[in-house]
Each structure stands twice: as structure tokens, then as C-alpha cells.
A and B are shown apart, each in its own frame.
Chain A
Amino acid sequence: MSDAADTAGALVAAAAAQLGRTEFDEITYKALGAEVGVSERTVYRHFPTRAHLLVCVAQTVESRLFAPSAFTTWEGLYGAVAARFDAFDAHPAEAFILARSASLSPVHTASPAGQSHSFFAGAVGALVDESAPGLNPRDRRRTASALCYFASAQFWVRVRVGFDLDAEAAMRHFRAAAHQVLRAVPEGTWPHPAYDGVVS
């Protein structure tokens, strides 16, 4: 790994380590540089805006704390979402960073939870394809996007801050929303075994 990559990685790790103790917006480039042993100017060279830093910190916390487990079944999906919501409750400062990063105007070619074909979106899309091979492209996209959006860190933030709810309640509401979304697809699209498993 190059020195530049080492420095960027060290800066991101230093910023991520401060979450929970310090608000992200209060982490200064000067202090971050001092902690890693580089100048403030060097920090700016790696992260021209705070959005660049936020996205990289989000990538780090997602891989370290919130990486979704692989799933190929509907119960697997629900298990993965429940585990993520529980992890968000356990690490709220980091979860807020993930939600913010996914809401930003893209600043990198690779960003977590908000990039086309993220791991989670790809797995949900594959599950929809397998369960409902007859679904037309528009309904497929609407179904998959709705499931992903209700499973997101943004949903967890909205119900936590806007409704004062915990991960367990967020999960109940995710399941109910997913149930309604799956019932909304055209009649006869789902093969019966999958349909029964999904919406019963």
C-alpha cells in the first residue's frame, strides 16, 4: 500500500475512532492531522471536503460494524435487517454517519449504502428475481427499491429520531412495510411457495 493510502486510511481510522465521543462535525482537520502526525494541509489534500471524509468514514464503520450478512431467502433478508438495526442501536453515532453518507450527493466512485448495486441492493434484487421471475422490470425495480429503502440506515434514523422508536420497533415496521410492498405486486407474479413464505 502506498504512503498516501496509508495516510488516508490512518486519517479515516482516527476520525472513526472519535465517533461516539465527538460529533463528526466537531472533528477538525487540524486535530485529525495532529493525531496522525500530518499537517492540516495534508488532510485537505486527501479529503477536499468533509463530505469526502464522511463517505470514507462511513465505509469503514459499515465494514467494521454493519456489514450485512449474506442471504438468499426472505427469512434471511429479515434476519439480516434485524441484525443491522440491532447494530445501529448499539452504535448510534456510527449509524448516523452511515445514513448521512447514503444521503449525500455522490462524491466518490465507491460509497457505502448509497451506490448502485450495493451488496445489499444486489442481494434483494436477486431474491426478488428468483421469487418472482415473471415480474415486469418496472414492478421489479419498485419492489426492490422499496424493500431496500425500508431496510436502510435512513429508515432507522427516521423512526429513532422522528418517532422515538428502537431497533425492535423499526424491525416490526420494516416487516409490515415489506409485507405490504410484496402484496402490491401483480396477482399471479409470485410462484406460490415463495408467495406463501413472503406474505403469509
Chain B
Amino acid sequence: MAWADHVVFARPSFDSVFDLPLALRQTMAAYSQRPELAFLVAETTMRGAAAANPAPSRVHVEQLLDAEIPDLGAEERERVAAALCHLDSAGAWAALRREFGMAAIDVADAAAWTAEAVLNPCAPGR
């Protein structure tokens, strides 16, 4: 299922971690267009050590954090990366759809809003 997350749900490219919330809106919209496949991707990343990588965007997010916020402490870097990877996933889409019965537009809005909240203390000028 990793191929589906890479190919069918290919992420929009972004060069700044602060663009991730906007990219998330597109990613969540893509999941909403293929819900059964999105649920499958979400489930396969939860299977444990032998599963598909549950944080495929980790390397990219950490590279952006290192480049844009080089003085971020190790704990804070890990916290932000973990939270963003958790949001940038089919699992986030599935949880928001199932647990809260959100419509596609609300899923995209909630994921992007939460990513902005996570990034807020790192934002330039904060």
C-alpha cells in the first residue's frame, strides 16, 4: 500500500514546512476522492514493525525544519516532526471521517488548522 500513498495520493511538492498546511488540504481532498483506498492505506500503516512506514514524510519534514529553523531544539524538532507526520497521513483522514463524521471539506480544514497550530511557535517572528 505504500505505493498507493506515493503514487495515487502523491503529495504536492512544497519547499517550506510552513506550506505543509496548504499541502495537507490537497492531500486530504485526494483521500476523500478515493475513500476505500485511503482507508486501506491508513490501516496498513498501523500494522506494526512489518507495516508500511507510518511516517513516510518524516525525512522531508525534518530536512525542512533543519533548513528553516536550524536553532530548533532536538525535543522540539522531534515533537513538531511527529505531530506533522501524524497529520500528513491517511490515518488522519480516516480518523476525522470516522470519529467525527466530517465531510471532505471539513477534514481538509481541520487537518490544515491543526498543522498550523503545531507550527505556530516555530513561525518566523514568533
Contact = CB atoms under 8 A, between A and B. Distances in A.
A145 B83 CA distance: 14
Contacts of B91: 103, 154, 158
B99 A145 contact: yes
Interface string B31-53: 00001100110110111111101
Given A142-B109, A158-B85, A181 B47 contact: no
Nearest to A159: B82
A173 interface: yes
A156 to B, nearest CB: 10
Given A103-B39, A173-B83, A163 B55 contact: yes
Contacts of A184: 113, 116-117, 120
Nearest to B119: A180
Interface stretch (A36-44, A61-69, A113-121): A113-121
Contact of A116 (B43, B82, B99): B99
Contacts of B47: 25, 96, 100
Contacts of B99: 102, 113-116, 118, 121, 145, 148-149
Contacts of A157: 45-46, 48, 54
Contacts of A138: 109
Interface in A26-60: none
B31 to A, nearest CB: 12
Contacts of B23: none
Q: How many of chain A's residues touch chain B, expressed as a range?
A: 35 or more
Interface in A129-144: 138, 141-142, 144
Contacts of B51: 161
A165 B83 CA distance: 13
Nearest to B41: A103
Interface in A79-107: 92-93, 96, 99-100, 102-106
B77 to A, nearest CB: 11
Interface stretch (B3-11, B12-20, B63-71, B100-108): B100-108
Interface of B: 35-36, 39-40, 42-43, 45-51, 53-55, 58, 75, 78-79, 81-83, 85-87, 89-92, 94-96, 98-102, 106, 109-110, 113-114, 116-118, 120-121
Given A102-B46, A145-B114, 18 more contacts: A23-B50, A103-B94, A104-B94, A114-B94, A116-B100, A141-B106, A141-B110, A142-B114, A146-B117, A153-B46, A157-B45, A158-B45, A158-B89, A159-B86, A161-B49, A161-B51, A172-B79, A173-B82
29 contacts: A23-B50, A92-B48, A93-B48, A96-B48, A104-B94, A105-B36, A106-B98, A114-B98, A115-B98, A116-B101, A121-B100, A138-B109, A141-B110, A142-B109, A145-B100, A145-B102, A146-B114, A148-B95, A148-B99, A148-B100, A149-B99, A153-B46, A158-B89, A161-B49, A162-B53, A162-B55, A173-B82, A176-B83, A181-B114
